[in-house]
Structure 1
């Protein structure tokens, strides 16, 4: 039987062609494997299972194969998995033990006229989890990992696979389209971390469904066969290989891939819900975005949930194949070496993770072994807000977005060579002076990515070395063009002076920001820095200011 469903026919022909070498070597098998193989010439895997003396194990497996059909693009195809084992593709089959299948599973596995999802589920999680492409003889002294057609990888050792033993020497039974091994057990389908999150009933509600809705099917360009270019300049394919991609998880890691090794740390669903309820107030966006765009409450709620959930996900994932931190530490997938050097704070880094107080040990009540890593479940919130999402906002002066009115100020980036006495961030500062030598300049700085809540505002100022005079400034904070902070000394505007003997960090005040603007295009929050130099005090203060950076620190409760 050489038929197969049309969308995959070409790829199957390619695979079959690759297998011809193995088939051509059939005459040499007796000599090469004479002590290991029971040769069954002329018998396919399917027919040998029917005619062999494998008892109820084969009987049940055949019944499952005959009642489970292939699927493709939402369609149930007229080819069963029994047909698949009767075809001329070269396969390796591990026959599971019937007694390992529960009554509930048996009812579903042998059910006639399954739905599309039922066929797909039984095939992926049971049938294809016991079938691999090509020839995989076992019993050798070396260990080897095999990829099943379920896309799961299992370790095969001398007398077992995934810790499931073979029945005596009943393995390496050669048929004319493959090899059969008899198991004294069953290879349990092991979910990957993505599947754990999106199918586990407890986690589906709190996080899995949220993640899963951002999964898209895309053409795997490298594995698909190009056909032509259509009238719109788009590539068409004679054989399209589709892959799933989660556009949300691109920021965190490929936890759906089987060839990876991740660790996920997640609290119990109850702790997750409690934590989200406690932090969602920081992600209240309000009704107005920018100056002109009104959004419904539902839109604001959607943004609140979207970014609130991701805030909690910040340090959940660790790629154990790529660790860039220090010895005895692990870094999450959000780790950025450049940001680490700039901030000098150990964001996304956890030291001694396996110690009693470490991230992978403290409060861990369950470990779930997945096909591409481990899931550690904690009974308490495992992360620190101030190291994940409630972090300072640093705005380099020379990189800031700024505005002026009537050209009262001129600004430009200036190189500043660090010395033992004066050190600035990035060795760059923002040079600010009044146009035409004017004293009373001001500059408005846009501030983005703030959460709702209290922040402390700071300005880091480099002294005017040439004059030796300090700066004197007055800050004003506005939100959506409304003043929300203007420090006063009685009826007079309060002024701040810097220390000329150091790069000085001026505390400008504490401000309650009414709404969140995290990851929005426009900024509703602005900080105005206004020079308070006048003709009457010009001999005491410098009209030129060099700004290193602005800093907003969240006030932690």
Structure 2
């Protein structure tokens, strides 16, 4: 029922069979060994060097993958024997953990084989010719998209010492190193290597899948009525990237991520779970008003199987508590990753999914951790306590604009009209106007419930979608009718589901203590004076305080709460009140922490 818009992410490495022909890129100002330049390939040079036999063996055993699980017939030795141009920093025997990588190869496990490619082979190869020359220091993008500093002055590549440089080949340059180029995981890769983060890792892996892309693949002949593919292109999708709006597998990003330990992860789940108290069956009376004013009603049922129900709750609970864990370090005001976790050091932080946390709360999210893990695309802060609060993250305030027709379910005895409410304010009235400066302007969109007859009391019913099973203060913002120069008198009725009944329950709200009105009859008051000396302004009318919705509606199309506002002015009260409602919006303030 909860629709996800999946964004396709192409694998970081294009298959060797699909690599477009690159022109060989060389530099006229370097010294290349003339004995081999132009005669032998990179693979032949590696194979002939007995000090590179371990690396050569792995190159010959591992097939090039276009994405994880989609290998080609071509091994890495074939790739380096090809006419494509590469530079290889080949580690000498004993310079890397040969036994570890051979065990991964012999396991024939897809993940293990892919790790050999990304962590070892692609971590020592780049495209084009890269020579060691002079005092240059250059950032090199390796085949796995990791960045390594190639320092000619020091004769190193990411700290690994080059012992034999600039060995020319017909298809590139070979350097021999006496150390392993250290593989630095990105944020997405890091979790699986830390045992105490496996709850987070399992969640992220559960949201990942690889899909065949027919349009990017090359079709082969049709055999026995079945289409074959000579080149299959696979794309990796991950719902979490969409939930968090953070592509934490991208190497050209700079993210900061809060990483809950297994203990903190459980705390987060326990905090979020009560807000996603779904029902297995919702029965909704869905009404609409036709052009001639007729109200029609249909019954819609939303029902889940046991598997669907568990899947929905699991996805929403985990998505809620994990959705705001990531921050884009490039887009934080006054960003300094070494300072903002310190208590009181950050004024505000905005997560990649758009939630802003303010001082001092923002610093508490980091649970006192001031020592981040440095990763290839950012920094990770491991926390042992989940310090996010519900009403600062997933339990957000809800705003329903009255002038938008898609927020309106029905209306009777009136014709709704969306208009602009514009006032030049020269003074304020009472406490409600304390936030409005003198000589300011109020301009908002409102709905006018224009009566079909002067004797009618109009009403309008709004849809309150995607509410959680949490506590809200419910307000309606009503503009003062300065044409009639009178306030409104109206009732408010909520329809919502509880845990025990399929059909919705309807409750007529009572005026909270201290608010304008009596019993079930609410009133609005003017809050300011315009330039003509007329009362005006928008009044925030409190309809219900600490109202707890028993069940969750998040992500459901045909199950939601409704709020009916109905003018209630008798003929004897028309000198005091106007029947025409001018409604700005409904606001639900999240209360749970």
The question of a shared fold, defined as TM-score above 0.5 by the shorter chain, is answered with yes
Give the aligned partner of residue 245 of structure 1.
237
Counterparts of 1:162 and 1:352 in 2: how far apart (Å)?
A: 42
Of the three residues 479, 496, 510, the one matched with 1:462 is: 479
Give the aligned partner of residue 553 of structure 1.
589
**Is 1:47 equivalent to 2:39 in the alignment?**
no
**3-state SS, counterpart of residue 474 of structure 1:** strand
Counterparts of 2:369 and 2:421 in 1: how far apart (Å)?
A: 49
Question: What pairs up with 1:339-488 in 2 under 5 angstroms?
Answer: 347-349=355-357, 358=363, 363-364=368-369, 367-399=372-404, 401-404=407-410, 407-420=412-425, 421=427, 427-480=444-497, 481-487=504-510
Residues 216, 247 of structure 1: 8 Å contact kept: no
Show CA shifts across 1:474-502 (max 9, x none).
Answer: 2111114312453289xx95212222244
Give the aligned partner of residue 123 of structure 1.
117
Show CA shifts across 1:19-66 (max 9, x none).
Answer: 4x45xx7xxx8x7423x65752433333323433x63xx132123223
Give the aligned partner of residue 500 of structure 1.
526
**3-state SS, counterpart of residue 423 of structure 2:** coil
Residues 215, 246 of structure 1: 8 Å contact kept: yes
Structure number with higher strand proportion: 2
Label 1:86 to 1:435 Cα distance change in 2 as closer, same or farther (>3 A): same
Of the three residues 244, 265, 269, the one matched with 2:258 is: 265
**3-state SS, counterpart of residue 468 of structure 1:** coil
Counterparts of 1:437 and 1:198 in 2: how far apart (Å)?
A: 69
Counterparts of 1:365 and 1:208 in 2: how far apart (Å)?
A: 26
**3-state SS, counterpart of residue 436 of structure 1:** coil
Residues 468, 500 of structure 1: 8 Å contact kept: no
TM-fit CA distance, 1:186: 1.0
Root-mean-square deviation (CA), in Å? Answer: 3.7
State the TM-score, normalizing by the size of structure 2. Answer: 0.76
Residues 186, 377 of structure 2: 8 Å contact kept: yes
**3-state SS, counterpart of residue 83 of structure 1:** helix
Counterparts of 1:238 and 1:66 in 2: how far apart (Å)?
A: 23
Counterparts of 2:275 and 2:107 in 1: how far apart (Å)?
A: 51
Of the three residues 563, 577, 593, the one matched with 1:541 is: 577
Counterparts of 1:44 and 1:404 in 2: how far apart (Å)?
A: 75
Counterparts of 1:125 and 1:460 in 2: how far apart (Å)?
A: 58
TM-fit CA distance, 1:163: 3.4
**Is 1:528 equivalent to 2:536 in the alignment?**
no
TM-fit CA distance, 1:218: 5.7
Label 1:437 to 1:153 Cα distance change in 2 as closer, same or farther (>3 A): same
Larger mean Cα displacement after TM superposition, 516-525 or 211-220: 211-220
TM-fit CA distance, 1:329: 5.2
Counterparts of 2:62 and 2:375 in 1: how far apart (Å)?
A: 26
Give the aligned partner of residue 133 of structure 1.
127
Question: What pairs up with 1:182-331 in 2 under 5 angstroms?
Answer: 182-197=176-191, 201-206=195-200, 208-210=202-204, 212-217=206-211, 219=213, 241-251=233-243, 252-291=245-284, 292-321=301-330, 323=331, 330-331=349-350
Larger mean Cα displacement after TM superposition, 387-396 or 70-79: 70-79
Counterparts of 2:214 and 2:142 in 1: how far apart (Å)?
A: 20
Of the three residues 323, 329, 332, the one matched with 2:351 is: 332
Larger mean Cα displacement after TM superposition, 180-189 or 139-148: 139-148
Counterparts of 1:469 and 1:114 in 2: how far apart (Å)?
A: 80
TM-fit CA distance, 1:369: 2.5
Label 1:213 to 1:172 Cα distance change in 2 as closer, same or farther (>3 A): same
Counterparts of 2:126 and 2:548 in 1: how far apart (Å)?
A: 61
Label 1:546 to 1:136 Cα distance change in 2 as closer, same or farther (>3 A): same
* Higher relative contact order, structure no. (Cα contacts within 8 Å, ≥ 6 residues apart): 2
TM-fit CA distance, 1:268: 2.0
Show CA shifts across 1:516-553 (max 9, x none).
Answer: 11121124311111222111222111112211211111
Show CA shifts across 1:120-151 (max 9, x none).
Answer: 33122211211112211124423222222223
State the TM-score, normalizing by the size of structure 1. Answer: 0.80
Label 1:384 to 1:293 Cα distance change in 2 as closer, same or farther (>3 A): closer
**Is 1:149 equivalent to 2:143 in the alignment?**
yes
Residues 481, 487 of structure 2: 8 Å contact kept: yes
5+ residue gaps in structure 2? 1-13, 223-227, 285-300, 336-346, 429-435, 498-503, 513-517, 529-537
Residues 325, 349 of structure 1: 8 Å contact kept: no
